[in-house]
Amino acid sequence: MKTFSFYLFTALLAVSVQGTLLNNVIRPDFLLILVCSYSLRHGQARGTAYGALTGLLLDSASGFILGPNILTKALAGFFIEPIRQKMFQWNVFISITIIGLFSLADVFLVYICLETFAGLSFFNRPLTISIMQVVYTTVLSLFLYPFLKPRESTKAFPGVKGRTF
């Protein structure tokens, strides 16, 4: 419970910093990195729930429409763990590549949801803004890589602790 409280407080802090200090500026998606980190450390179900909660925080802070960020953050929390399990080794390059792809999908899905359900067209918005947001998120994930490491699991050898094979 302490870990969840810490991650929730960090998410609230990130939403408030993004809303006050980084308003009208291209900013990295810190919440996406938090969701991926939480899901890697605590599993798929908890990661999905945490992603939906942080998406709700972000959508309610925007004050416009509920749903786009809930969907994208919950999907990131849901899919990061199965992707990690299919990888032979989790390293810095794979981590920042996955975060970059999730960030790109996040921007794309939010735009689709806002255009479909709110009638906002992003056709006239410069593409460089979206690309720079993905780049900033990817670079920030490089610096936060120690938090993106998955928790070590002993599922392969239950009962064996302290030994490496």
Query: Mind giving me the DSSP string for 22-66?
Result: TTTS----HHHHHHHHHHHHH-HHHHHHHHHHHHHHHHHHHTS-S
Find, among 38, 68, 67, the residue nearest to 51 by Cα.
Answer: 38
Mean pLDDT in residue range 130-158: 75
Q: Counting beta carbons within 10 angstroms of the beta carbon of residue 5, is it exposed (0 to 12), middle (13 to 18) or buried (19 or more)?
A: exposed
| Cα dist from 17 to 12, 13, 33, whole Å | 9, 6, 15
| 156, pLDDT greater than 60 | no
Domains of the chain (ranges; CATH) run 2-20+29-148 (1.10.1760)
User: pLDDT band at 75, cuts 50/70/90?
Assistant: very high
pLDDT band at residue 141 under the 50/70/90 scheme: confident
User: Cα dist. 83→22, 89, 150, 164 in Å?
Assistant: 31, 11, 12, 23
Q: Record the pTM.
A: 0.81
pLDDT of amino acid 23? 66
Task: Output 154 or 82, whichever has higher pLDDT.
Answer: 82
Per residue in 20-31, pLDDT (tens digit) is 776 667 788 889
Among 138, 78, 128, 127, smallest CA distance to 103 is for 138
Q: What is the pLDDT confidence band of residue 151, given thresholds at 50, 70 and 90?
A: low
Which pLDDT does position 77 carry in this prediction?
Answer: 92
